[in-house]
Amino acid sequence: MDMEISFPGGKKVDAKYEGFTINTDQPKHSGGDSDAPEPFSLFLSSIGTCTGIYVLRFCQERNIPIEDIKLILRTEKNEETHMMDKIDMEIQVPNTFPDKYKNAMIKAAGLCAVKKHLETPPQIEISVKKQ
């Protein structure tokens, strides 16, 4: 799997993957134009949307209406390291959601591949190669 990262100008950095272009930019206070999410926001949204697909699939397989279900992702940042200490995901369901599925939904949400990669992170190697 290859992903090509390019620099289209300013503080923008784009990723091309499988026919899609994922645009990023920095906020204005960091010298960007705020034309796209910053990369770290995409990182957090990948955790939320990955979890979301498992919640969606869980509900669809049981014919549970999804219109009133949503995930809220909250983060806690370490003020010294500026790294995230905690990511809390809350699955909000309507009062009509069957209680018998609560633990099973949490288990299904925990299958998210992004979450699993954070729990057992891959090695990341960086090199420079002349073209």
Which spans in 3-126 are helix H? 39-61, 102-109, 113-119
- At residue 10, φ and ψ (nearest 5 deg) are 60, -135
89-127 per-position pLDDT tens digit? 999 999 999 999 999 999 999 999 999 999 999 999 999
Cβ-based neighbour number of residue 118 at 10 Å: 13
pLDDT at 1 over 90: no
Mean predicted lDDT score pLDDT of the chain: 96
Quote the CA–CA distance of 111 and 24 in Å, as a whole number. 27
Instruction: Map out the domains of the chain as residue ranges.
Output: 1-37, 38-122
What's the whole-number mean pLDDT along residues 56-79? Answer: 97
Start-to-end Cα distance in the chain? 19
The span from the CA of 112 to the CA of 49, in Å, is 9
| Res. 58: pLDDT tops 90 | yes
| 91 close to 34: Cβ distance less than 8 angstroms | no
What per-residue confidence (pLDDT) applies to 101?
98
Residue-wise pLDDT tens digits, 80-92: 999 999 999 999 9
Percent of the chain with pLDDT over 90: 98
Q: What is the CATH number of domain 38-122?
A: 3.30.300.20
